[in-house]
Structure 1
Amino acid sequence: MTYIDEKERIGKLAEAALTKLESTLPGSSQMKTLTDLIEDLDEDSYKIMVVGEFKHGKSTFVNALLGRDIMPRGVTPTTATINVIEYGKEEKASVHKRNQTIEEFDTLDILKSYTADDDFDSDEIRHIKLTVDSTLLKNKVVLIDTPGVNDLSEQRSEVTHQFLPRADVVLFMGSLTSPIKASEEKFIRERLIKNGIDRVIFAANFMDSIDEEELDELTEFVERRLETITGTRLNSLYPLSALEALEGKKENDAELLNYSGLPELEEEILRRIESGSRGKEKIKNFTERLVNICEVIEDEIKTASIVSSQTIEELELQFAAIQKWFGDLAAQETDLQNYLYDREAEINFMVSKSLSHFGERLNDDIETRIHTFQGAAIKNLVENQLPMVIKSQFTTWIDQYEDKIHQLLIKLEKEVSQGLTRSFNQSIQLQKNQRASFNHLSTIPIFDAKSGNAHVKAGVILGSVGSVALLLGAPFFLPIVGMAGLPYISEKIAEKQLAAVKPELIMTARQKVNEMVKDFDRQLSEYIKEATNDIRDRSLEEFNRLLYSYETILNDEMDKHHNETADIKKRESKLEELKNIVTSYRSGVEIYG
């Protein structure tokens, strides 16, 4: 079954469950979550991300997929921003900046103002979103065009930590005229392999620049080189002429299009979308969400079954406990916040301790590099080598510890949901103990804390927080960039001068690194605070939704009891009336008999 088939199957199951729920348990806590799941399934898109070195024809390839010129292209490198292209009948653009502001434009021409040749600060731009009327995009396809690989490795943390992990297909655009540079190999080893090599399609552009008799041999050479780098056997490397593909589509020239190699590549993209690991991950996530929803509904049904056998007094006791919970909500939130403050402090302590050790190791490494530096080009050391080392080591720390931070937050998320459940069950138990006549009140299935998951799905809450790596924007590295302005830094320096300035350079570098570690610690603290606040808000929201569902079940059952009581009284009244009539009839018969 393909990815599309699986998604349709899950969607039909969710819609059927929602329809049944609306008629049977209209107050269910899962009405919203089912609706959200159906909407997410409907809005789910297939993300195709194009990466590669500068001047390898990535934008021309994107244009070829679209069948028209959308992305600026030329001999010199043009793409300087991350460009996200989605479907829209009304073509427009929006520039999303790091300061959270968005500039809207009613034309796609604005993209020409954001190329590598233009005078703008690319570090201020997070990404540019384009809506384009395209047949390809109508089928829920999103194209992501990126700057050169070298730029990605050094600056664009959004690409490697936000867009890349979420891409269904990653198309790596190489070149048959300059096979696999060092920067490309580094990106493949450090980023593509990490995110799943089976999502990656390797293409090699400029097939039209290679002699036909050399094409097979050169393609085989590049393919072997890629297999050595990835450590896996490639199904195929796709030689391509992006320019001829674009011209073939624009001119409706089937022969030129077939010669360009694009049709085979498009078929492979579709195959990867339907069977790739990213699609499997999304299907697994959608399936788990539906299973979790069904588990909660089952517990709501069990709860409804239990309360149906309880007396009106027992129902009123539980209803009163809910009212008391909502009445004491402010106090509950205060207790929860105090608990979160303590847990937040513990996480921050562990993170700060790790960062402190990291800072010491980084300072020692930088000091060693400065001590052992030989030569006259100290400006290159300060402007290029040291910043690259520092950025690389910060990224390595994030790769190593980001998941550990998230695991601590997920553990906290579970503890909060379990704590809310225990608190409410204790409230019920307390009232039960005060009323000895209620002997068969059992733990309410919908709030069964023993399950270890009070139906707040682990990790779902953290989705809105984002990646730790996004904290490392360009402004973060300003201190180390500022070292290039030191008065003794020049293009070249004499050996005696170098020995004299090394101690001061070491001291300055240590100061700058300490500034960055301290600032990163502060940003991580804010990140953790935001996550814990989100855990608090979403946990309370989910738990209160369960309470409202429980309240509805109790209300329905109490209404039945009241209706039954009213029916009994009505029947007794009718019987009494019948009795009186019969009695009067009997008396009359006796009188006249």
Structure 2
Amino acid sequence: MLESFHSRRADVIGALRDLVGFGEAIGARSLAERIRSELVQKLEEDRFHLVVVGEFNHGKSTFVNALLGKPVLPSGVTPTTAVIHHLEYAPEARAEVVYTSGKRAPVPFEEVRSFTVGGEKAAHGGGHEGAHGAAGEGHEEVKHLEVYYPADLLKERVVLVDTPGVNDLSLQRADITYSYIPRSDAVLFLLDAGQPLKESERVFLQEKLLGQSRDKIIFVVTKRDIWDEDEEAEALSYIRGELARLVKVPVVFPVSAERSLEGKVELSGMPELLGHLTTFLAEERGRILLDNALGEGLGGAQLLRKGLDARRRAVQMTQEELSRRIDLLEKDLAGQTRTIEERRSGIREEVAAIRAWVKRDLERFVDDVGRQLPKIIDEAKADEVKVHLGAFLEKTLTEWAQSETKEIADALEALAEKTIALVREDARDVARRLGDTLGMDLRAPNVEVDTFRYDVGVFALLTIGVGVMFTNALLGGLLTLAAPVLAIYVRDKVEAETRKKAKELAPEALKEAATRIGPKLDEMIQEFASRLDAWVVTAGEELHREVIEVLKSARDDRSKAQPGNEQALVDCDKQAEALGGVLSRLESLRSSLWTPAAAAPPPEVPTPAVPGLLGE
């Protein structure tokens, strides 16, 4: 299935490359470059990302080793010494440790299985820099370990992300929950055959995972070899029934990674899981990826059609008339720049207001909780204070952050929607003026958000809305910053001293967390505003620039004593026919994505030759 997907992807890339060549041939170089860089190159570089999640001691590393076909990763490490592993294909096995600073250092591959954060191998083994950096260079925090390996699964352009196991999934690292999982193509959620679906796993599924990944979770029950045939049927029936309370149609596969690694693959359940996984990636995730790219390509082709129409009209104008029209368009663009600046000013004003009330809300939250803490501490038992105070503060901050980030996301989404509506109205005015200047019918361009981008970003308003994604992105960043500060507890203190210490530490911890997350909130709001601002500029100028670029190319051709009007018009006709062929090919490819394979039409639609494009 993945081989079939890669073949279809190659067909899509080929059609988009033809579109790039066509744009260059008619002089629409900027548009051609955007299609090349934002569609073709991204499709060429894209990978399927699988994230493996599960509690400690569920056989997660053994399972990943079974996927790879050999015991590559360490097993038996403790939750506090484990590190995230990124596994990608390479003809030769190698590994690198990646630090949060961005710095990288090679790790001898034979030491990958003994690499752990804080462990002897991580810090000193083999002379490489480990979790704490080289001697004398201070301590550096490890972000993840990148492992390159010639496994068949990875060869299919799959990236495996093995996350550290924890004793309780609620303690899972925030960047895994809010960063890795939303960007994944599939989540392999591991359950233990000996203790399936613990309460902590239910809570994690309900509160952290289902909201952002419901359609891509595959449940894997490890250690199936502890069951006999009757026990397996009964256990799987129970597991599916319990999961059905959370997921409408749970996908469950029992596996024995140990059997697979011992060579008893047919008894392991791994072939069945891999078969489903490859079909899911190719059909469910892959088709959407290609469909989005083809949709953007068709939008680019429509812009090129407008450019070709402008070129045809330019051929029929005198050199002086053509220069006069270009001058008029450039003056109109200067006027449009003022309109764009008005839109940008409106964005800045509204974003400033959002930043102000977010800062105020955070200050009020810290003050309110700080006032309530002494009473809460006095009413709790000393042991409860020591064990649960940090968790209570983190939960309180998380609940506030969830509510606050939703308000922020709603406000930014409303701002974006209003801005899009205004820019679309501006585009209609632009099309009317350009049509008058060129003496042709120009319909307003379809002003899309994140034009020529098929990846999901914070601007995917027209499909799923910004709210959920932006809230998750914010929350992940906030908790990553705040969690270490809030993990406070006091050991070996008498009750009175415990309470006294808690009353001193808790408000300070909360204030320190606020000083860290306040700038993070502000930074992410500003980042959203910057992207919206950049989009306004791009969308507002796009039609002007594309038409002017094509007209200037026509004028340059004429000044270089290119073919006369009659031949130039013949060339325009051939180019129009060629563009029609590219459009038909894109449409055919898009249609075949959703047609059963047996009935799918041939992917190739011949594209007529274009003067200056295909070597004629």
Q: Same fold (TM over 0.5)?
A: yes
- Cα shift at 1:14: 2.1
Q: Secondary structure at 2:211's aligned position in 1? A: coil
Q: Secondary structure at 1:283's aligned position in 2? A: helix
Cα displacement string for residues 171-229 of structure 1 (whole angstroms, at most 9, x for unaligned residues)? 11110111112221122113332234331111111112234442221222222121123
Cα displacement string for residues 229-285 of structure 1 (whole angstroms, at most 9, x for unaligned residues)? 32x133x5211111221221xxxxxxx111111111111111211232x33432332
- Cα shift at 1:332: 9.1
1:479, 1:515 within 8 Å by CA — same for their partners in 2?
A: no
- Cα shift at 1:381: 3.1
Residues 1:282 and 2:289 are matched in the alignment: yes
Q: Secondary structure at 1:74's aligned position in 2? A: coil
**Structure 2 equivalent of residue 233 of structure 1:** 249
Backbone CA RMSD of aligned residues: 4.4
Residues 1:183 and 2:200 are matched in the alignment: yes
Residues 1:374 and 2:380 are matched in the alignment: yes
Cα displacement string for residues 443-489 of structure 1 (whole angstroms, at most 9, x for unaligned residues)? 784xx6x43628962877994999434532634445434x55xxxx5
**Structure 2 equivalent of residue 262 of structure 1:** 270
**Structure 1 equivalent of residue 237 of structure 2:** 220
- Cα shift at 1:294: 1.3
- How many residues are matched? 534
Q: 1:340 to 1:20 in 2, by over 3 A?
A: closer
2:51, 2:160 within 8 Å by CA — same for their partners in 1?
A: yes
Q: Secondary structure at 2:382's aligned position in 1? A: coil
**Structure 2 equivalent of residue 148 of structure 1:** 165
Q: 1:111 to 1:556 in 2, by over 3 A?
A: farther
Match of 1:316 among 318, 323, 342: 323
- Cα shift at 1:402: 3.9
1:3, 1:283 within 8 Å by CA — same for their partners in 2?
A: no
Residues 1:346 and 2:350 are matched in the alignment: yes
Counterparts of 1:505 and 1:547, CA distance in 2: 64
1:367, 1:506 within 8 Å by CA — same for their partners in 2?
A: no
- Cα shift at 1:361: 5.2
Q: 1:265 to 1:440 in 2, by over 3 A?
A: closer
Q: Which amino acid aligns with 1:281?
A: I
Counterparts of 1:219 and 1:391, CA distance in 2: 35
**Structure 2 equivalent of residue 295 of structure 1:** 302
**Structure 2 equivalent of residue 30 of structure 1:** 31
1:461, 1:535 within 8 Å by CA — same for their partners in 2?
A: no
**Structure 2 equivalent of residue 531 of structure 1:** 531
- Cα shift at 1:335: 9.0
Matches within 5 A, 1:202-217: 202-217=219-234
- Cα shift at 1:383: 2.6
Residues 1:472 and 2:478 are matched in the alignment: yes
Q: TM-score, normalised by structure 2?
A: 0.72
1:203, 1:238 within 8 Å by CA — same for their partners in 2?
A: yes
Task: Please say which of residues 117-126 and 42-51 is displaced more in the overlay.
Answer: 117-126
2:393, 2:510 within 8 Å by CA — same for their partners in 1?
A: no
Counterparts of 1:198 and 1:159, CA distance in 2: 18
Matches within 5 A, 1:44-443: 44-74=46-76, 76-77=78-79, 80-105=82-107, 107=109, 109-110=111-112, 112-115=114-117, 120=131, 124-148=141-165, 153-154=170-171, 156-230=173-247, 232-234=248-250, 236-248=251-263, 256-276=264-284, 278-321=285-328, 340=344, 343-354=347-358, 356-357=360-361, 360=364, 364=368, 371-372=375-376, 373-377=379-383, 378-395=385-402, 397-398=404-405, 401-402=408-409, 405=412, 408-409=415-416, 412=419, 441-442=438-439
Counterparts of 2:341 and 2:103, CA distance in 1: 31
1:150, 1:183 within 8 Å by CA — same for their partners in 2?
A: no
**Structure 1 equivalent of residue 549 of structure 2:** 549
Q: 1:454 to 1:521 in 2, by over 3 A?
A: closer
Counterparts of 1:169 and 1:461, CA distance in 2: 16
Q: 1:368 to 1:491 in 2, by over 3 A?
A: farther
Counterparts of 2:15 and 2:452, CA distance in 1: 23
1:33, 1:293 within 8 Å by CA — same for their partners in 2?
A: no
2:62, 2:257 within 8 Å by CA — same for their partners in 1?
A: yes
Counterparts of 1:257 and 1:322, CA distance in 2: 68
Q: Which amino acid aligns with 1:159?
A: I
- Cα shift at 1:292: 1.6
Counterparts of 2:455 and 2:185, CA distance in 1: 23
Q: 1:134 to 1:159 in 2, by over 3 A?
A: same
Counterparts of 1:338 and 1:440, CA distance in 2: 24
Asked which structure has the greater CA Rg, the reply is 1
RCO (CA 8 Å, sep 6+): is it higher in 1 or 2? 2
Matches within 5 A, 1:443-458: 445=442, 450-451=444-445, 453=447, 457=451
Q: Which amino acid aligns with 1:237?
A: V
2:91, 2:149 within 8 Å by CA — same for their partners in 1?
A: yes
Counterparts of 2:81 and 2:499, CA distance in 1: 42
Counterparts of 1:517 and 1:356, CA distance in 2: 13
- Cα shift at 1:30: 2.9
Q: 1:99 to 1:21 in 2, by over 3 A?
A: same
Q: Secondary structure at 1:53's aligned position in 2? A: coil
- Cα shift at 1:526: 4.5
Identity %: 23
Q: Which amino acid aligns with 1:205?
A: T
2:416, 2:532 within 8 Å by CA — same for their partners in 1?
A: yes
Q: 1:368 to 1:241 in 2, by over 3 A?
A: farther
Task: Please say which of residues 132-141 and 392-401 is displaced more in the overlay.
Answer: 392-401
Q: 1:111 to 1:533 in 2, by over 3 A?
A: farther
**Structure 1 equivalent of residue 585 of structure 2:** none
Q: Secondary structure at 2:175's aligned position in 1? A: helix
Cα displacement string for residues 562-590 of structure 1 (whole angstroms, at most 9, x for unaligned residues)? 965999xxxxxxxxxxxxxxxxxxxxxxx
Q: 1:407 to 1:126 in 2, by over 3 A?
A: farther
1:409, 1:531 within 8 Å by CA — same for their partners in 2?
A: no
Q: In structure 1, list runs of 5 or more residues that go unmatched.
A: 249-255, 430-438, 568-593
**Structure 1 equivalent of residue 19 of structure 2:** 17
Q: TM-score, normalised by structure 1?
A: 0.75
- Cα shift at 1:315: 0.7
1:84, 1:142 within 8 Å by CA — same for their partners in 2?
A: yes
1:150, 1:184 within 8 Å by CA — same for their partners in 2?
A: no
Counterparts of 1:16 and 1:135, CA distance in 2: 32
Counterparts of 1:409 and 1:392, CA distance in 2: 26
1:461, 1:538 within 8 Å by CA — same for their partners in 2?
A: no
Task: Please say which of residues 62-71 and 121-130 is displaced more in the overlay.
Answer: 121-130
1:48, 1:144 within 8 Å by CA — same for their partners in 2?
A: yes
Counterparts of 1:5 and 1:413, CA distance in 2: 36
**Structure 2 equivalent of residue 432 of structure 1:** none
